[in-house]
Structure 1
Amino acid sequence: MRIESVAADNNFFVSLDIGSSKIVILLAEEIEGQLKIFGHGIGPSAGVKKGLIVDSEKTSQAINAVVEKAYSSCNTKFFNVSVNISDPHLTIINRKGQVLIANSVITEKDVELALKSAKAVATSTNKQVINSVPNSFIIDKDPITHRGVEVDKPVGLEAKTLEANMHIVIASNQAVGSIEKSIRKSNLGTSMIVLNSMASSEPYLSQDEKDNGVCLVDIGSGVTNISVFTNGGITHSAIFKSAGDQITDEIAYAFNTSFNEAERLKIQYGDAQIKSLREDQLIKFKPIGGLEECYLSSHSLVEVIEQAYLDLFSLIKQNLKSKKLDRSLKSGYVLTGAGSKIQGCDELFLRSFRVRSKLGQVDTEKIDGNEMIISDPTYACALGLLLYEPDESYLEELQPDNTVGFMGKIGKIKENLFKF
């Protein structure tokens, strides 16, 4: 359950996205089942490299600056925040736990025991589980064929065994401690820490897409996060050190210029595809140590950018192929994050993967507010953190439907055709 920030008589939610290049704070309140953004702040990050806090003092100072902006935007004080984590050294695994059903009918306690068994991961003393998400429940799994019946809500069903499959995120105590320390130094409290891509998926992915198979690709500045959903649940996540800053580094190296100058070139003249250029043109830039300005061709600039993106896409492709997930995504890919904003990114992705792909669009039935925020993928994670809430609907008992047969009585149920 999300912990609300409280001010006067108002209850609301606050998200804090600590990125490698920017920090974002959003405030939202729930009105008739929809979150409405009423406050925000954004500013440069500090003390963060490749998604990992390396200087909590600098990070807390950067957070403080954004806190002031958020407060000024809505004149509302806040304390508890939901925050992201995208440390490339995270361990992300799928685990399963099975229990025997004593009285033939599954109870809440049986579900909790199955989940507890799945979460019983042997971790070293310097690590901890930060997220554990049930992605499926299987009743009466055959020990020989490894097949059973997959259900969303097992409570109340007749069964001999119940298996819970979970997606588990494990972080180092140091990484978690650095986040909590930076937040604490900013006079805030941590209500929840969520894997970046798990949060970012919330505003952009529909349940139908998750059921059919979809991959959320969040291209940030320091790292790229992906999460794969199949059969309605999250089944795979990964973090890559290659992202927007890596592309800027490639430009800086290719043309012997500073990171800031390379970033300017990328933003002002960048495109992800050479074929999108209508004509070649000369672009003025400042090389390192050069007293005079030099020129480069737009074609050569875009050539570097395109190759850097293709290298990143290749890493994603290899990762999914190694997990045998590359052919499980009927709904394809959804791109978001600041790195997806460059012209032609979605078209290059489609050309590279040859599978359905699109730029993410926020579901405004879930969350709405400032159009500038809703339409900008830079805010993807902060929006998702507002929406993210651990799903405990699996503890609800299925209501019998007397108008239909067995399949109707047990609700949404699917024959599990895959081996787990």
Structure 2
Amino acid sequence: MRIESVAADNNFFVSLDIGSSKIVILLAEEIEGQLKIFGHGIGPSAGVKKGLIVDSEKTSQAINAVVEKAYSSCNTKFFNVSVNISDPHLTIINRKGQVLIANSVITEKDVELALKSAKAVATSTNKQVINSVPNSFIIDKDPITHRGVEVDKPVGLEAKTLEANMHIVIASNQAVGSIEKSIRKSNLGTSMIVLNSMASSEPYLSQDEKDNGVCLVDIGSGVTNISVFTNGGITHSAIFKSAGDQITDEIAYAFNTSFNEAERLKIQYGDAQIKSLREDQLIKFKPIGGLEECYLSSHSLVEVIEQAYLDLFSLIKQNLKSKKLDRSLKSGYVLTGAGSKIQGCDELFLRSFRVRSKLGQVDTEKIDGNEMIISDPTYACALGLLLYEPDESYLEELQPDNTVGFMGKIGKIKGNLFKF
């Protein structure tokens, strides 16, 4: 079988979402400024617990199975992927860097120096910076009042000082190494590693929402990720160990049944709100060690589910309140991830937070091509990884009168592909 190189004018992008319960690969190509999905694979995960790879061999085998599905879906082979990370032990901080402007007019070099100063985080030898995203620039900040002028594109403006504020994600070398090792064992390379919620925000959040303040809530199986955007930039991210699997665990404990049986009950009969139930009904299920099947009421099942979701929402609420961000979200909350698929999740969230909230809807002007994938929040992170711009691309974006589209910024990392 002869392998032919893809035409040089085609742009291909490949994402790999390594989750606690599933692994997803998506392939897309750019057509007139929009990404079109043309290949995909999805399968069960292995060797991953609460967002952490604990057995790279099992994870690699699971990735391999999904790679084969992706290959066969589009007759296309690839070698590099953008991948997510959702390790609960990540360190996520905001840092500032300031420089004096030598010739009164801010140059690209000044911006680069300010960003490098902000990014110069003192990390231990066993940790590394994996994401560093600028969220704001301030010129001529007064050292006493701490006030200055916030600008989007500082290059070309007159100023004495420039301050850059960055959102920085730090991971352990062990966590990064486990991801890269699992991917390498699948004969793939790692283009970039991106915080889960930062990637998931790409398909769902508009610039207006980011400007007015919005929180992306990605409820996965093993962990829940959030990222907050205010004044157009990302200002806070957090990871919670409570997610879809925790809901299932609560069901299993309440009714003395297995995890798999509890998952079945959640999927087939689950609802996030008791008030949504039209009538109570008896549901047959298998208890642990029981020779005979038992029955539970749908009301009691949903009662357990509702409380588990409320507990998760309380964790999110407390986290945002501790950062004084709970009143900064004029655009409210956007929910996504597999855990948001349960009936009534958005309504319960609204009831809990009493702030505008909605289920995420993909911006099809950015990415399209497969209705099943676009409409399923299970694919949120994989879709976002396709759209995510490498951290280095901000330098071109900052230049005045920039006409480069979101898919044309420098440094976009593409998968190396060949067609059979």
Q: Residues 355-395 of structure 1: CA distance to partner in whole angstroms, max 9, x if unpaired?
A: 00000000000000110000000000000000000366754
Q: Residues 75-108 of structure 1: CA distance to partner in whole angstroms, max 9, x if unpaired?
A: 0000110000000000000000000111111111
Q: 1:309 to 1:138 in 2, by over 3 A?
A: same
Work out whether residues 131 and 391 of structure 2, in 8 Å CA contact, stay in contact via their aligned partners in 1. Answer: no
- Please identify, of 383-392 and 109-118, the stretch whose mean Cα deviation from structure 2 is larger: 383-392
Q: Distance in 1 between matches of 2:380 and 2:361?
A: 10
Q: 1:244 to 1:394 in 2, by over 3 A?
A: closer
Work out whether residues 200 and 381 of structure 1, in 8 Å CA contact, stay in contact via their aligned partners in 2. Answer: yes
Pairwise CA distance, 1:4: 16
Q: Distance in 2 between matches of 1:99 and 1:321?
A: 32
Q: 1:407 to 1:39 in 2, by over 3 A?
A: closer
Work out whether residues 335 and 346 of structure 1, in 8 Å CA contact, stay in contact via their aligned partners in 2. Answer: yes
Q: CA RMSD in A?
A: 7.6
Question: Partner of 2:332 in structure 1?
Answer: 332
Q: Distance in 1 between matches of 2:406 and 2:379?
A: 44
Q: 1:91 to 1:4 in 2, by over 3 A?
A: farther
Pairwise CA distance, 1:319: 0.1
Pairwise CA distance, 1:335: 0.1
Q: 1:163 to 1:8 in 2, by over 3 A?
A: closer
Q: 1:116 to 1:126 in 2, by over 3 A?
A: same
Q: 1:137 to 1:2 in 2, by over 3 A?
A: farther
**Partner SS, residue 413 of structure 1:** coil
Unaligned runs of 5+ residues in structure 2 are none
> Are residues 1:389 and 2:394 paired?
no
Work out whether residues 3 and 80 of structure 1, in 8 Å CA contact, stay in contact via their aligned partners in 2. Answer: no
Question: Partner of 1:277 in structure 2?
Answer: 277
**Partner SS, residue 234 of structure 1:** strand
Work out whether residues 203 and 363 of structure 2, in 8 Å CA contact, stay in contact via their aligned partners in 1. Answer: yes
**Partner SS, residue 355 of structure 1:** coil
Q: Distance in 2 between matches of 1:284 and 1:405?
A: 55
Q: Distance in 2 between matches of 1:405 and 1:83?
A: 23
**What TM-score results when the alignment is normalised by the length of structure 1?**
0.93
Q: Residues 279-336 of structure 1: CA distance to partner in whole angstroms, max 9, x if unpaired?
A: 0000000000000000000000000000000000000000000000000000000000
> Are residues 1:195 and 2:195 paired?
yes
Q: Residues 179-212 of structure 1: CA distance to partner in whole angstroms, max 9, x if unpaired?
A: 0000000000000100000000000000000000
Q: Distance in 1 between matches of 2:19 and 2:12?
A: 23
Pairwise CA distance, 1:408: 25
Greater than 4 Å deviation, 4+ residue runs: 1-10, 391-394, 396-420
Q: 1:225 to 1:290 in 2, by over 3 A?
A: same
Q: 1:397 to 1:290 in 2, by over 3 A?
A: closer
Q: Distance in 1 between matches of 2:294 and 2:381?
A: 38
Pairwise CA distance, 1:416: 43
Work out whether residues 153 and 393 of structure 1, in 8 Å CA contact, stay in contact via their aligned partners in 2. Answer: no
Q: 1:209 to 1:221 in 2, by over 3 A?
A: same
Q: 1:150 to 1:6 in 2, by over 3 A?
A: farther
Work out whether residues 146 and 419 of structure 1, in 8 Å CA contact, stay in contact via their aligned partners in 2. Answer: no
Q: 1:344 to 1:32 in 2, by over 3 A?
A: same
Q: Residues 401-420 of structure 1: CA distance to partner in whole angstroms, max 9, x if unpaired?
A: 99999999999999999999
- Please identify, of 79-88 and 398-407, the stretch whose mean Cα deviation from structure 2 is larger: 398-407
Q: 1:406 to 1:57 in 2, by over 3 A?
A: closer
Q: Distance in 2 between matches of 1:302 and 1:412?
A: 45
Work out whether residues 114 and 162 of structure 2, in 8 Å CA contact, stay in contact via their aligned partners in 1. Answer: yes
Q: Distance in 2 between matches of 1:310 and 1:166?
A: 32
Work out whether residues 94 and 167 of structure 1, in 8 Å CA contact, stay in contact via their aligned partners in 2. Answer: yes
**Partner SS, residue 358 of structure 1:** strand
Q: 1:292 to 1:342 in 2, by over 3 A?
A: same
Q: 1:183 to 1:5 in 2, by over 3 A?
A: farther
Q: Distance in 1 between matches of 2:3 and 2:115?
A: 22
Work out whether residues 153 and 398 of structure 1, in 8 Å CA contact, stay in contact via their aligned partners in 2. Answer: yes
**Partner SS, residue 407 of structure 2:** helix
Pairwise CA distance, 1:32: 0.0
Work out whether residues 5 and 14 of structure 1, in 8 Å CA contact, stay in contact via their aligned partners in 2. Answer: no
Q: Residues 7-36 of structure 1: CA distance to partner in whole angstroms, max 9, x if unpaired?
A: 887430000000000000000000000000
Q: 1:119 to 1:305 in 2, by over 3 A?
A: same
Pairwise CA distance, 1:398: 8.1
Aligned residues: 420
**Partner SS, residue 13 of structure 2:** strand
Q: Distance in 1 between matches of 2:223 and 2:401?
A: 47
Work out whether residues 183 and 190 of structure 2, in 8 Å CA contact, stay in contact via their aligned partners in 1. Answer: yes
Q: 1:169 to 1:394 in 2, by over 3 A?
A: closer
Work out whether residues 213 and 228 of structure 1, in 8 Å CA contact, stay in contact via their aligned partners in 2. Answer: yes
Q: Distance in 2 between matches of 1:221 and 1:5?
A: 38
Work out whether residues 98 and 114 of structure 2, in 8 Å CA contact, stay in contact via their aligned partners in 1. Answer: yes
Work out whether residues 401 and 409 of structure 1, in 8 Å CA contact, stay in contact via their aligned partners in 2. Answer: no
Q: 1:183 to 1:399 in 2, by over 3 A?
A: closer
Work out whether residues 398 and 410 of structure 1, in 8 Å CA contact, stay in contact via their aligned partners in 2. Answer: no
**Partner SS, residue 415 of structure 1:** coil
Q: Distance in 1 between matches of 2:404 and 2:388?
A: 34
Q: 1:232 to 1:414 in 2, by over 3 A?
A: farther
Work out whether residues 6 and 12 of structure 1, in 8 Å CA contact, stay in contact via their aligned partners in 2. Answer: no
Alignment of 1:126-205 (within 5 A): 126-205=126-205
Q: 1:225 to 1:6 in 2, by over 3 A?
A: farther
Q: Distance in 2 between matches of 1:414 and 1:15?
A: 10
Q: 1:402 to 1:22 in 2, by over 3 A?
A: closer
**Partner SS, residue 396 of structure 1:** helix
Sequence identity (%): 100
**What TM-score results when the alignment is normalised by the length of structure 2?**
0.93
Alignment of 1:287-326 (within 5 A): 287-326=287-326
Pairwise CA distance, 1:124: 0.5
Work out whether residues 203 and 384 of structure 2, in 8 Å CA contact, stay in contact via their aligned partners in 1. Answer: yes
Q: Distance in 2 between matches of 1:404 and 1:15?
A: 23
Q: Distance in 1 between matches of 2:336 and 2:396?
A: 33
Q: Distance in 1 between matches of 2:247 and 2:285?
A: 17
Q: Distance in 2 between matches of 1:225 and 1:268?
A: 25
